[in-house]
Amino acid sequence: MNETDFLTVLDEASCEAHRREVAYRAWVDSARAAVAAELTAELISADMRAARVRFEWTEER
């Protein structure tokens, strides 16, 4: 494998990693509301939910 081939392989791997990251972020964003609702139901008592306490998913980027 020459240097050009090696750099091509690295570039392809980088592009694939970026595509996977974009797909993962889209999946996380689409699941966020459902996960927050499920965690609210499981982790927060009924009386607290009645007082409108909710699990909120925040993420620093």
* Inter-CA distances, 55 with 29, 36, 50, Å: 16, 6, 13
Please indicate, yes or no, if residue 21 is contained in any of the structural domains.
Answer: yes
Please indicate, yes or no, if residue 23 is contained in any of the structural domains.
Answer: yes
Helices (H), 44-53: 46-50
Model pTM score: 0.56
* Inter-CA distances, 54 with 12, 32, 43, Å: 43, 13, 9
Residue with structure tokens 């791997």? 13
Question: 20 near 12, Cβ under 8 Å?
Answer: no
Please indicate, yes or no, if residue 60 is contained in any of the structural domains.
Answer: no
For 20-38, the pLDDT digits (tens) are: 999 999 998 899 889 889 9
Domain residues for 42?
Answer: 3-50
- Domains of the chain: total: 1
Mean pLDDT (the chain) is: 91
Please indicate, yes or no, if residue 55 is contained in any of the structural domains.
Answer: no
Structure tokens at 41: 């139901």
